[in-house]
Amino acid sequence: MKYETVLFDLDGTLTDPKVGITKAVQYALSKWGIQVDDPDTLIPYIGPPLAQSFREIHAFSELDSVSAVEKYREYFKDKGIYENELYDGIKDLLGNLTEQGRKLIVATSKPAVFANEVLRHFGIGSFFVYVCGSNLDGTLSDKSEIIAAVIEKMDVNKDRAIMIGDRKHDIIGAHNNGMASIAVGYGYGSEEELTAIRPTHYLKTLQELQDFFENDK
């Protein structure tokens, strides 16, 4: 078994958070008089750190982006966090990886308090030995920093670990920490985005992901 430690992104990798995240962003933007009629246009917000997305996508200032995240959370903490779906096959995948003796970890830019609630809500928290997310004050939101924190906290052997995610930030984070990576095509990063960043592996479906680890024995 080459990969004894498996790091998972959360949004777009374990769960499909589209409805909750886009509605929460829609709510936040409305506080600045920005009306978004089609929440699907806000899908690019899924994955990257939120404050960064408010700056890059809607040209918010540094100060306004922090305020926008606070407004986002007004909606998300009570409603949006549960407007979410577990991808079909995830529980089976996590169960199989656990039975194979692998150590599973969540590495997400979502605040740890929200990430843990999502895992609890879907009944998958027990599969993970550690959940590393960002802090509510916005620190530790960069994926490279998050993966580095996981490596230090859990004493991860990078040569026997792999990061799984659906956006380029996940793959860049793995690259920056000298770790192998799997970009998955069923989430929110396009094939063009993901292959351009050169992940160690690009797998389109959950079945391909399942097969990958079945063959890593």
Q: What is the CATH number of the domain that holds 26?
A: 1.10.150.240
Residue 1 has a pLDDT of 87
From residue 93, alpha-carbon distances to 54, 104, 208, 216 in Å are: 34, 11, 11, 14
**Is 187 found in the same domain as 108?**
yes
Residue 82 has a pLDDT of 97
- Segment 83-137, tens digit of pLDDT: 999 999 999 999 999 999 999 999 999 999 999 999 999 999 999 999 999 999 9
Residue 8 has a pLDDT of 98
Give the catalytic positions in this structure: 9
**Is 208 found in the same domain as 143?**
yes
Residue 9 has a pLDDT of 98
Q: Which of 82, 97, 124 is the last residue of a domain?
A: 82
**Is 156 found in the same domain as 197?**
yes
Residue 140 has a pLDDT of 92
**Is 186 found in the same domain as 135?**
yes
Q: How many CA atoms lie within 13 A of 33 on its CB side?
A: 0
**Is 192 found in the same domain as 112?**
yes
- The total of structural domains in the chain comes to 2
**Is 114 found in the same domain as 71?**
no
**Is 154 found in the same domain as 78?**
no
pLDDT above 80 for 183? yes
Alpha-carbon gap, residue 104 to 124, rounded angstroms: 11
Over residues 204-216, the mean pLDDT reads 96
Q: Which of 110, 114, 53, 107 minimizes the C-alpha distance to 82?
A: 114
The proportion of the chain whose per-residue pLDDT surpasses 90, expressed as a percent, equals 96
pTM of the predicted model as reported, rounded to 2 decimal places? 0.94
Residue 138 has a pLDDT of 85
**Is 197 found in the same domain as 133?**
yes
Q: Which of 66, 82, 98 is the last residue of a domain?
A: 82
Q: Which of 60, 82, 104 is the last residue of a domain?
A: 82
pLDDT above 90 for 156? yes
Sign of the C-alpha dihedral, residues 193, 176, 205, 186? negative
Residues in the chain: 217
Residue 217 has a pLDDT of 76
**Is 57 found in the same domain as 125?**
no
- Segment 48-96, tens digit of pLDDT: 999 999 999 999 999 999 999 999 999 999 999 999 999 999 999 999 9
Residue 103 has a pLDDT of 98
CATH number of 139's domain:
3.40.50.1000
**Is 101 found in the same domain as 53?**
no
DSSP the chain: ----EEEE-SBTTTEE-HHHHHHHHHHHHHTTT---S-GGGGGGGSSS-HHHHHHHHH---HHHHHHHHHHHHHHHTTTGGGS-EEPTTHHHHHHHHHHTT-EEEEEEEEEHHHHHHHHHHTT-GGG-SEEEEE-TTS-S-SHHHHHHHHHHHHT--GGGEEEEESSHHHHHHHHHTT-EEEEETTSSS-HHHHHHT--SEEE-SHHHHHHHHHS--
**Is 164 found in the same domain as 58?**
no
**Is 117 found in the same domain as 93?**
yes
Over residues 194-214, the mean pLDDT reads 97
pLDDT above 90 for 190? yes
- Segment 7-36, tens digit of pLDDT: 999 999 999 999 999 999 999 999 999 999
Q: Which domain holds residue 57?
A: 18-82
Residue 196 has a pLDDT of 97
